[in-house]
Amino acid sequence: QKEVEQDPGPLSVPEGAIVSLNCTYSNSAFQYFMWYRQYSRKGPELLMYTYSSGNKEDGRFTAQVDKSSKYISLFIRDSQPSDSATYLCAMSGGDSSYKLIFGSGTRLLVRP
Amino acid sequence: GAVVSQHPSWVICKSGTSVKIECRSLDFQATTMFWYRQFPKQSLMLMATSNEGSKATYEQGVEKDKFLINHASLTLSTLTVTSAHPEDSSFYICSARPTSGTDTQYFGPGTRLTVL
């Protein structure tokens, strides 16, 4: 079993839809949770960063962390074609290695 | 803020030659930088952790003599692919963890290496 599970998609939605992306994890030591967006042939771009449980909102993006269920989500409101990309969840345990453990990424396609 | 650059963005080289890739944090200091490799339609694979002023820590299965890492300053890490072969062709991405602030990583734009 992988430490972080993420549905690879692809997920296809019409423009304006609300998108829900999710990851589950097995390591209860994880404390820092991130969502990255990666366009084809580009490096990942940090979208959201959350420490421990709770919600965080930034514009059209909302990140949720439920540590009791070991489940994190990213919601995108009013999705746009420019949101079409691969979304990677990542997490770390705050240990001295500072390594990030990534999900496999979900490909999102927003249709005009 | 939190910008990481990589140079070159793409490189084509002949088999047997060495290639150096630079990773710079432009507006913050990074004691720790990371080097990843990514194959098409796959997630990031961590190759090594680079700490300023000390030897890099390589992940299992990564040849340290083939992938030389130097982290000479708080804003620069380099990856040298020595005696490159076609199987080394890949997308190489670095990331930098700010010395102060949040426990996250900011990524460079990546370097596409093609070995002929």
Residue-wise pLDDT for B24-57, tens only, equals 999 999 989 999 999 988 889 999 999 888 889 9
Q: Please indicate if any CB of chain B lies within 8 Å of the CB of A108.
A: no
Q: Using alpha carbons only, give the angle B93, B96, B101 rounded to the nearest 5 degrees.
A: 150
Span B7-11, mean pLDDT? 97
Residues 6+ apart with CB under 8 A from B53: B71
| B82 vs B65: CA distance, rounded Å | 8
Chain B residues with CB under 8 Å of A87 CB are none
What SS3 state is found at B34?
A: strand
Interchain CB distance below 8 Å, A100 and B93? no
DSSP 8-state code for residue B59:
P
- pLDDT value at residue A96: 67
Residue A78 distance to chain B (closest CA, Å): 26
Chain A environment of B49 (Cβ under 8 Å):
97-99
Q: How far apart are CA B22 and CA A84, in angstroms?
A: 29
Residue B18 has pLDDT above 80, yes or no: yes
User: Is B102 within 8 Å of A49 when comparing Cβ atoms?
Assistant: yes
Helix %, strand %, coil % of chain B (to 5)? 5, 50, 45
Q: Coil, strand, or helix at residue A99?
A: coil
Calpha distance A57→A69 (Å, rounded)? 20
The confidence score (pLDDT) of residue A9 equals 87
- Residue B62, pLDDT > 90, answer yes
Number of H helices, E strands in chain B: 0, 11
Q: Distances in Å between the alpha carbon of B14 and those of B6, B77, B83?
A: 21, 24, 9
Pairing of strands B111-115, B10-13: parallel
Give the number of other Cβ atoms within 10 Å of residue B105's Cβ. Answer: 26
- With an 8 Å Cβ cutoff, is A103 touching chain B? yes
Return the percentage of chain B with pLDDT > 90, whole number. Answer: 82
In a mutagenesis test of the A interface, which of B23, B51, B94, B103 is the best target, namely the one with the most A β-carbons within 10 Å?
A: B103
Q: How far apart are the first and last CA of chain B?
A: 37
Is the pLDDT confidence value at B101 over 80?
A: no
Question: Which residue in A5, A32, A33, A42 has the most chain B C-beta atoms within 10 A of its own C-beta, making it the best mutation to test that interface?
Answer: A42
List the one residue out of A28, A50, A41, A33 whose CA is nearest residue A103: A33
Confidence of residue B78 (pLDDT cuts 50, 70, 90): very high
pLDDT value of position B42: 87
**Residue A8: predicted pLDDT:** 86
Q: Give pLDDT tens digits along chain A (112 positions).
A: 788 999 888 999 999 999 999 999 999 989 999 999 999 989 999 999 998 888 999 999 999 999 999 999 999 999 999 999 999 999 998 666 788 999 999 999 999 9
pLDDT grade, residue B66 (50/70/90)? very high
Tokens of residue A84, six digits: 């079409």
Question: What pLDDT is attached to residue A91?
Answer: 93
